Amino acid sequence: MRIGILGSGLMGGKLGTLFARAGHDVVFSYARSEEKLKRLARSAKGNARAGTPREAGQDSNALLLAVHWSRIDDVLAQAGDLAGKVVLTCSLPMNDDDTALVIGNTSSGAEKLAEKIPGAPVVAAFNTVPSEVLFDVYAGRHKAARPSLVYCGDDRRAKTTAARLIRDVGFEPLDAGPLRIARYTEPFGLLVAQLAYEGKGGPRLAYTFQRSKS
């Protein structure tokens, strides 16, 4: 696939690198310096390059949105028309000092994003893992037991794309249902962050869902 990264920070930089290493064509965009985007593209050691958000959008069939909630409108304006693109979002709708969700209960960041880009099917994914685990999960991708990663969305084709990318990074994709389920996965992302950054175990934290037999 050709994948555009909108927001090349901790999440976008790492996931873009792993997508490139998994064999996808990646365009890194949206950082405060072009040099950083070029450095990421070089170090990805795959088919990756730096570009503008518009180039990332134009050239791709899937996009990863990985910016702070306060930057969403700016990056979407720079990306231009995203009609027909699959948009994966890991962005959590946080306030400016990252202490609270600004959307919740009756909606979610993913649903608000979908309203902003009506022609582009949105899938919420990768918002429930700390970026620190991504390389380890990728390194263990051939193991039988892989950590779970929940995702949700309304469009079947977009979800198939998302599931493939989730598997490529090394997770077992777990379909949580329609996009409105992001109302629950986004607060779950905060629980994971709380455990990772304020709990005892540190950020090397991934999760597994298991069915218990009765």
Ligand X SMILES: NC(=O)c1ccc[n+]([C@@H]2O[C@H](COP(=O)([O-])OP(=O)(O)OC[C@H]3O[C@@H](n4cnc5c(N)ncnc54)[C@H](OP(=O)(O)O)[C@@H]3O)[C@@H](O)[C@H]2O)c1
CB of 6 to ligand X, least distance (A): 9
Residues 6+ apart with CB under 8 A from 104: 93, 183, 186, 187
C-beta closer to ligand X: residue 53 or 213? 53
CB of 91 to ligand X, least distance (A): 3
C-beta closer to ligand X: residue 96 or 212? 96
Spatial CA neighbour of 71 closest among 13, 31, 110, 20: 31
Burial tier of 26 (Cβ tally within 10 Å: 0-12, 13-18, 19+): buried
**What letter does residue 103 receive in the DSSP assignment?**
S
Residue 166 CA to residue 17 CA, distance in Å, equals: 13
C-beta closer to ligand X: residue 11 or 181? 11
Can you read off the two tokens belonging to residue 121? Answer: 């099917």
CB of 132 to ligand X, least distance (A): 7
Beta bridge partners of 173: 149
CB of 179 to ligand X, least distance (A): 17
CB of 21 to ligand X, least distance (A): 18
C-beta closer to ligand X: residue 83 or 202? 202
C-beta closer to ligand X: residue 42 or 142? 42
Residue 162 CA to residue 126 CA, distance in Å, equals: 10
CB of 212 to ligand X, least distance (A): 27
The three state secondary structure string of 11-25 is HHHHHHHHHHHCCCE
Residue ranges binding ligand X (CB under 6 A): 7-12, 30-33, 36, 66-69, 71, 90-92, 94, 127, 130-131, 189
C-beta closer to ligand X: residue 66 or 163? 66
